[in-house]
């Protein structure tokens, strides 16, 4: 069955109403011949037919029936009696067909509108998926950078442990040196007591002296490395700066990276807690030491952030803070303020440290 819907590239043409047909001319009756046979008839003209000019006066005679006129086949026959009804039926069918064509055109327009709307919706969904993929990629990059930071901190911690190992080795070398000194003294005493074994003791003493020299060299190397580490730590501490916190209290030294934070830990004046605070759903607090923190917003381009500090059943908002700015707050069990320093701001993530005073004393007790 052929579809009545037009194609997308085919223009819509109006339906032409059917043209009325001319009725066929009537054919002469079967067996008709012109002129007819026996023409003229034998009794024609009649006896009373006038012979002068035509028509004669008083003709045709009274009671004479006129002859039928010959039928002209050049003129169309009159339409039959039921032709008007057929015309009306045909016109009704044409109107119905036009109405159906208009309805189909309306349906085609609706379908085209729905297809256009579906295309726009699909384009919007594709754009949304693209944005979601971009956000996921940025989050993955942030996590990768955070892992790199943690790796750097781990390496710094390993370096610090290496320094402690060198100290232990130096101490052990000193113990070995003292022990060797005691052995050497004892051997000297034995040399004085046993003269027969002088040669053997000298050989042992020579070997011992060689070992002592080797140990002495190792101790000297360890002392040199320890001095270098101490010099580097002192230089790092000298580069640290102090700043005034948001409570107006002059803070101690501020670390801006993991190396400086390691140097502060070596000083041992305060306790330091690493902070890695992410923004979570429903603003769930995250605990660090004696305080809880909630990250509200970050602006990596401006290196600013906003957070909430929860301590002693109190909530304190810190808005639009910058990196390496000491955020100070007091707790009931300490006279000195706590300090929060953020060194790095990323999308929905901040990293830094919390400086806690070692002396824990309530402010009420200090005033007595």
- To which residue do tokens 């015309």 refer? 87
Cα–Cα separations (whole angstroms), residue 160 to 148, 152, 153: 18, 12, 10
Per-residue pLDDT of 137-151, as tens digits, reads 888 888 888 888 888
- To which residue do tokens 């955020």 refer? 327
Indicate the pLDDT class of residue 268, thresholds 50, 70 and 90. confident
DSSP 304-350: EEEEEEEETTEEEEEEEEETT--EEE--TT-SSPEEEEEEEEETTEE
- To which residue do tokens 């059943």 refer? 313
Indicate the pLDDT class of residue 196, thresholds 50, 70 and 90. low
The β-bridge relationship of strands 327-329 and 338-346 is: antiparallel
**Nearest CA to 67 among 85, 47, 45?**
45
Could you give the CA distance from residue 210 to residue 18 in angstroms, rounded to a whole number? Answer: 129
Could you give the CA distance from residue 320 to residue 299 in angstroms, rounded to a whole number? Answer: 9
Per-residue pLDDT of 279-328, as tens digits, reads 988 888 999 998 999 999 999 999 999 999 999 889 999 999 999 999 99
Could you give the CA distance from residue 261 to residue 159 in angstroms, rounded to a whole number? Answer: 13
Q: Can you give the pTM of this predicted structure?
A: 0.37
**Nearest CA to 304 among 327, 274, 329?**
327
Structure tokens at 349: 């993530």
Cα–Cα separations (whole angstroms), residue 89 to 37, 85, 86, 99, 102: 47, 6, 5, 15, 20
Could you give the CA distance from residue 12 to residue 6 in angstroms, rounded to a whole number? Answer: 7
- Most confident range (mean pLDDT) of 45-59, 194-208, 250-264, 266-280 is 266-280
How many alpha carbons fall within 13 Å on the CB side of residue 226?
Answer: 14
Range in 214-223, 247-256, 288-297 the model is least confident about: 214-223
């Amino acid at each position: 069955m052929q579809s009545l819907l037009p194609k997308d590239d085919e223009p819509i043409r109006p339906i032409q109403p059917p043209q009325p047909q001319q009725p066929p001319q009537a054919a002469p009756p079967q067996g008709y011949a012109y002129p007819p046979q026996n023409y003229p008839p034998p009794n024609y003209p009649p006896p009373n037919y006038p012979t002068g000019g035509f028509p004669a006066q008083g003709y045709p005679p009274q009671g004479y029936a006129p002859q039928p006129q010959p039928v002209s086949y050049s003129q169309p026959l009159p339409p039959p009696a039921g032709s008007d009804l057929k015309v009306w039926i045909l016109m009704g069918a044409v109107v119905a067909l036009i109405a159906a064509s208009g309805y189909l055109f309306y349906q085609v327009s609706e379908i085209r509108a729905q297809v256009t709307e579906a295309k726009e919706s699909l384009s919007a969904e594709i754009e949304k998926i693209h944005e979601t993929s971009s956000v996921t990629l940025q989050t993955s990059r942030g996590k990768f950078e955070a892992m790199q930071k943690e790796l750097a901190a781990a390496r710094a911690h390993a370096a610090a442990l290496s320094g402690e190992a060198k100290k232990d080795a130096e101490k052990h070398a000193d113990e070995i040196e003292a022990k060797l000194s005691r052995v050497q003294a004892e051997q000297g005493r034995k040399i004085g007591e046993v003269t027969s074994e002088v040669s053997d003791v000298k050989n042992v003493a020579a070997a011992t002296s060689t070992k002592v020299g080797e140990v002495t060299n190792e101790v000297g190397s360890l002392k040199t490395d320890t001095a270098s580490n101490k010099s580097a730590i002192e230089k790092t501490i000298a580069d640290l700066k102090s700043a005034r916190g948001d409570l107006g209290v002059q803070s101690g030294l501020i670390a801006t990276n993991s190396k400086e934070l390691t140097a502060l830990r070596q000083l041992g004046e305060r306790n330091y807690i690493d902070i890695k605070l992410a923004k979570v759903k429903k603003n769930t607090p995250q605990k660090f030491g004696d305080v809880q923190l909630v990250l509200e917003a970050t602006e990596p381009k401006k290196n600013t952030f906003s957070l909430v500090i929860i301590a002693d059943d109190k909530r304190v908002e810190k808005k639009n803070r910058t990196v390496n700015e000491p955020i100070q707050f007091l707790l009931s069990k300490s006279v000195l303020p706590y300090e929060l320093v953020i060194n790095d701001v990323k999308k929905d993530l901040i990293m830094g440290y919390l400086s806690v005073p070692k002396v824990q004393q309530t402010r009420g007790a200090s005033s007595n």
